[in-house]
Amino acid sequence: KKSGPEIAKELACVIKKPSFIKSINIAGPYINFFVNYEKLAKNLLQKIYAEKGSYGKQNIGKNKTIVMDISSPNIAKPLGIGHLRSTVIGGSLYKIYKALGYKTISINHLGDWGTQFGKLIYAYKNWGNLKDLRKNPIKHLLFLYVKFHQEVKDNPKLDDLAREEFQKLENNDKKNLEMWKEFRRLSLEEFDKIYKILKIRFDSYNGEAFYVSKLEKALEVLKKKTETKMSEGALIVDLDDYGMPPFFAIKSNGTSSYHLRDLAAALYRFDQYKPEKLLYVVGIDQKLHFEQLFKVLDLMGMNKNRFVHVDFGMFAFKDGKMSTREGKTIALEEVLDESIKLSKKILEEKKSQIKNIDDTAKKIGIGAVIFNDLSTDRIRNVIFDWSKMLSFDGDSSVYLQYTYVRCCSILEKAKKEQKLSPEINVGFEYKSKEEIALIKQLSLFQEMIIKSAETYKPSYLANYLIDLAKVFNEFYNNCRVLSGTEKEMKNKVLLVFCVSQVIKNGLALLGIETVDKM
Ligand code: ARG
């Protein structure tokens, strides 16, 4: 309840002046900081130059662990575009937290258990065959799944038969277990193709099935610490007081639930990794599921601030193209293929002289899909608009990759024509407003990494990079790098080098590669 000027005065006294601040003065309720740009540039550019690919790394996460549940597709179903969002957002958060010094554990919580496997096993026994399964596993499994749902309409008894098959599976029936293993193995092989393209690795593939042996213990703890009750044959935790439907531990047919498996997983992960935070990178459509789960964990006495549902919106196509027959799931592979094809076409239209056009098109195409996702605030729906995604001068990864290429060619030219390479014994006298703006923008990189981590939003970093490229292109258009005195040229060459390094490191944190030529 103090006045503005009073607060300003007090603050100004306690703020520790960083070396690049010349002076601090108070003007009424404002505190003004006067920057010594020579000092700032020197500290900053020397650090970037010295650390190169490691620039951005910090140690605020030292001795802390972050566990993240990412990707987590369902066995026997195609990897959907929602799983792409989880993989891409989670993959980037993984890199961001690692850069901040955290120990990071990524878990692919595969949907490899549940009543649907009873249906699948029933369907396979009746209508499936090994040849089709091996040839195109997901296609065949999807066919069986759809077929089951068609047949059950005329013959409701099938539901009981499927449940029996699942119960047999839960009781370790040898034949059913073998079938399930094969479905899982073959599906995972398909998923891995995409993970390879996206260069995503997981520290663990412990999916829902992994926790089956841990359900009994979880149930025991649940019963001890909360008030469970039977309701219409199911074991539940009533969450009425919190305005939520009940948490189902055991379903009325006696089988375990998705809820219970997640509860067992949470307990196991805490025990195993002792994480600072446990992130669930899962679409917003599962918001209620996680609210219920976290509430129950809270009732069990776990610190609820450690659990975070990193939720995200869905996808929409601007031109209506590429929607699939089933409507709901859009096959990821199609999207990536399309993006790579379009990138190649663009390179060809631009009469690109590069030799490795396929490789470059791949980096551009995959980068565009990733960046389109990550530059959107994750809560919002991602719009698929190819012309925007692959634009050389819009808010796209191509724009960033292109800016990086521009930096590389300036550096190459400097070396060839002026025998100048970036080095740090320069003067650091940056005077033009474009140079100053660029230094200011560069100085925000480390902070943006922290901000992205704190909010679980790589979009801050993505949009920061776009701003950096814009400021750089202002500079490029107005200040000729290879003109002026040798000292001035050296200063500018170092600046260009640092911009290229920050773009490269920033893109790497998003999971996107740069190319040297386009
Ligand atoms: N397999 C689920 C799905 O595709 C996502 C799992 C998310 N993770 C979790 N711990 N529940 O909808």
106-145 confidence digits (pLDDT tens) = 999 999 998 899 999 999 999 999 999 999 999 999 999 9
Ligand 1 nearest atom to the CA of residue 258, by list position: 11
pLDDT confidence bin for 318, thresholds 50/70/90: low
Atom of ligand 1 nearest to the CA of 111: 1
Query: How confident is the model at residue 331, as a pLDDT?
Result: 67
Which of 71, 202, 286, 314 for mutating ligand 1's site (highest number of atoms within 8 Å of CB)?
Answer: 286
Mean pLDDT of the chain: 93
Indicate whether residue 365 lines ligand 1 (CB < 6 A). Answer: no
Instruction: List, for residues 437-458, the tens digit of each pLDDT value.
Output: 999 999 999 999 999 999 999 9
* Percent of the chain clearing pLDDT 90 (strictly above): 84
Alpha-carbon gap, residue 182 to 58, rounded angstroms: 43
- Whether the per-residue pLDDT at 46 is higher than 60: the answer is yes
Q: Per-residue pLDDT for 272 more than 70?
A: yes
Q: Whose CA is nearest to atom 1 of ligand 1?
A: 111
- Residue with CA at minimum distance from ligand 1 atom 4: 73
User: What pLDDT band is residue 497 in, cutting at 50, 70 and 90?
Assistant: very high
Tell me, what's the pLDDT at 10?
93
CA of 71 from ligand 1 middle (Å) equals 8
Which residue's CA is the closest to the ligand 1 atom numbered 6?
Answer: 72
Pair 72, 109: CB distance under 8 Å = yes
Does any ligand 1 atom lie closer than 6 A to the CB of residue 283?
Answer: no
For residue 304, the CA-to-ligand 1 centroid distance in Å is 19
User: 90 CA to middle of ligand 1, Å?
Assistant: 13
pLDDT at 320: 53
Q: Is 80 in the pocket of ligand 1 (CB under 6 A)?
A: no
> 69 CB less than 6 Å from ligand 1?
yes
The pLDDT-based confidence of 508 (bands split at 50, 70, 90) is very high
- Residue 377 structure tokens: 């605030």
Q: Does the beta carbon of 109 sit less than 6 angstroms from any atom of ligand 1?
A: yes
pLDDT of amino acid 199:
93
Give pLDDT tens digits for 133-187: 999 999 999 999 999 999 999 999 999 999 999 999 988 999 999 999 999 999 9
pLDDT digits (tens, 9 = 90+) for 186-208: 999 999 999 999 999 999 999 99
Phi, psi of 350 (to 5 degrees): -80, 5
Confidence of residue 323 (pLDDT cuts 50, 70, 90): very low
**Does residue 262's CB lie within 6 angstroms of at least one atom of ligand 1?**
yes
Q: How far apart are the CA of 111 and the centre of ligand 1, in A? A: 6
Give the mean pLDDT of 263-278: 97
What is the gyration radius of the CA atoms in the chain, in angstroms?
Answer: 27
Helix axes 486-510, 37-51, angle to 10 degrees: 60
* Ligand 1 centroid from CA 310, angstroms: 12
- CA–centroid distance, 246 to ligand 1, in Å, is 19
Average pLDDT for 460-464:
98
Structure tokens belonging to residue 314: 């869905």
pLDDT for 327 equals 39
Q: Measured in angstroms, how far is the CA atom of residue 492 from the centroid of ligand 1?
A: 50
* Cα–Cα distance measured from residue 332 to residue 306, given in angstroms and rounded to the nearest whole number: 32
Of 91-95, 321-325, 460-464, 488-492, the poorest mean pLDDT is in 321-325
pLDDT of residue 387: 85
3-state helix, strand, coil split of the chain in percent (to 5) is: 60, 10, 30
Q: Which of 410, 470, 406 is nearest to 437 (CA)?
A: 470
- For the segment 214-238, the average pLDDT, to the nearest whole number, is 96
